[in-house]
Chain A
Amino acid sequence: AQKVTQAQTEISVVEKEDVTLDCVYETRDTTYYLFWYKQPPSGELVFLIRRNSFDEQNEISGRYSWNFQKSTSSFNFTITASQVVDSAVYFCALRGSSNYKLTFGKGTLLTVNP
């Protein structure tokens, strides 16, 4: 069985603060894929990143960075110098190699205040 846990239900920060969203996963697959999606108030999910289990390099994209640690089964997402436009619900998701199905966490609502 697969499981994704996002323990932080809501986070509120002031603009320009750094913020880290936590994601912990469980899977029996030796090969798997992790994803982060952003859901702004409009509702559409926006794909942010995919990380393969065999590639443990961390990734940076502008103000976004992702820390993948297989040893702790975590795939955390950091936004540096947050902006009001970053306000959204962020979902972490997992797909095992043995299937196509995405298992989603319950999401973290990030509010960035001016």
Chain B
Amino acid sequence: DGGITQSPKYLFRKEGQNVTLSCEQNLNHDAMYWYRQDPGQGLRLIYYSQIVNDFQKGDIAEGYSVSREKKESFPLTVTSAQKNPTAFYLCASSSLGAVGYNEQFFGPGTRLTVL
């Protein structure tokens, strides 16, 4: 089945440790995105990538890093520099249409808790 997978579903880390969240898609989508969601809040864009080996900062990139070595994969590293990393992280992807990027499809999310 085509879709987006994120792993793990739940992640616990100690303060000061870096942690990497996985995102893979088999939809052949060009663009991939990472969002952060806090309780009672909408989604905020962390990073996005339109092509392999290229990515751009979103609204809240500080304390995060990404890579896009393959079209299917867009891992997100939450570094120790992120001051409040406990949140729900969602990965998304979209295809390029005639009038720009089409709707984004989302993975199941990773809930990160920093102890």
Contact = CB atoms under 8 A, between A and B. Distances in A.
Contact of A101 (B48, B106, B108): B48
A47 B104 contact: yes
Contacts of B108: 42-44
Contacts of A95: 100-101
B39 to A, nearest CB: 11
A44 B67 CA distance: 23
Contacts of B102: 50
Interface residues of B, number: 27
A106 B50 contact: no
Task: Please report whether the interface of chain A is mostly helix, strand, loop or mixed according to DSSP.
Answer: loop
A104 interface: yes
Contacts, number: 58
A68 interface: no
A106 B40 contact: yes
Interface string A79-114: 000000000000100010100111011110000000
A14 interface: no
A97 B100 CA distance: 7
A102 B101 CA distance: 10
B100 A50 contact: no
A35 B104 CA distance: 10
Give the 7 A-B residue pairs with the shortest CB-CB distance, closest first: A104-B42, A45-B106, A43-B109, A106-B42, A44-B108, A100-B101, A104-B43
Interface of B: 31, 33, 40-45, 48, 50, 58, 88, 90, 92, 94, 99-109, 111
Interface of A: 4, 9, 31, 33, 35, 37, 42-47, 50, 52, 91, 95, 97, 100-102, 104-107
